[in-house]
Amino acid sequence: MNETISVQDLASMIDHSLLHPTLTDAAIKRGCELALQYNVATVCIKPYSIPMVRELVADSNVGVCPVIAFPHGNSTTAIKVQEAEAAVRAGGSEIDMVVNIGKVLSEDWAYVSNEIKVINDAVTTQRAILKVIFENDYLQDEHIIRLCEICSEHEVAFVKTSSGYGFVKQDNGMYSYQGATDHHLELMREHAAPTVQIKAAGGVRTLDDFLRVRALGVSRIGASATESILEEAKQRGL
């Protein structure tokens, strides 16, 4: 039996990304208006804009999702905890936090596990949820698998592929990233507990991209192409 999915079903899976460093307050306001128009899950924002965004989306179903230690995850654990706690107090209902990538690559799993645990505890104590960004472009499969196991152990709400800003130097000297690949999403769904949801971010730019990753078990996407994706869904009669 074919599944029926509506435009609103898709919209409710989108964290509308407002994270580019050049975004002005006016651009963030326009992004929030778009998020409200389509009734997406959240707006994913930089922490300084929480008060403004919270006011803009008040009395709606659109949540506020600040990012922590974004995009490189290099802050100390103590600073990450403080930043996460402050973001929730300011109005964040969902927190997207970048792991310490260097510690993951060093396979210092005690450090990585403790950091994820204390940040998750800090967030959930205030009745918000945590999404842990792996930045898969920098990692090997074994690192992704171990991160999924750690996040499952600590009952994190979501594991997330990428920040969208994890640019890797290529052989030709240019910097680019793949983001949410099918292989990595399949790996994450296989090794994360069933209760841990998957967020795909980076490279999900079309409706077909969206439907493909959804079929792989993704329940949330991070997207800046929200409008074009959902307008295409309308044109297809979803």
- CA-CA distance, 41 to 27, in Å (whole number)? 19
The Cα–Cα gap between 15 and 92 comes to 13
Is the bond into 71 cis (omega within 30 degrees of 0)? yes
Active site residues: 96, 160, 199
Structural contact between residues 154 and 117, judged by C-beta atoms closer than 8 angstroms = yes
Contacts of 238 (CB under 8 A, 6+ apart): 5, 6, 7, 10
CA distance 72 to 102: 9
**Which single residue is written with the structure tokens 């709606």?**
60
Strands 175-176 and 220-223: unpaired
* Strand-pair category, 168-169 with 129-133: unpaired
Pair type for strands 94-98 and 14-18: unpaired
The sign of the dihedral angle between the CA atoms of 24, 8, 164, 77 is positive
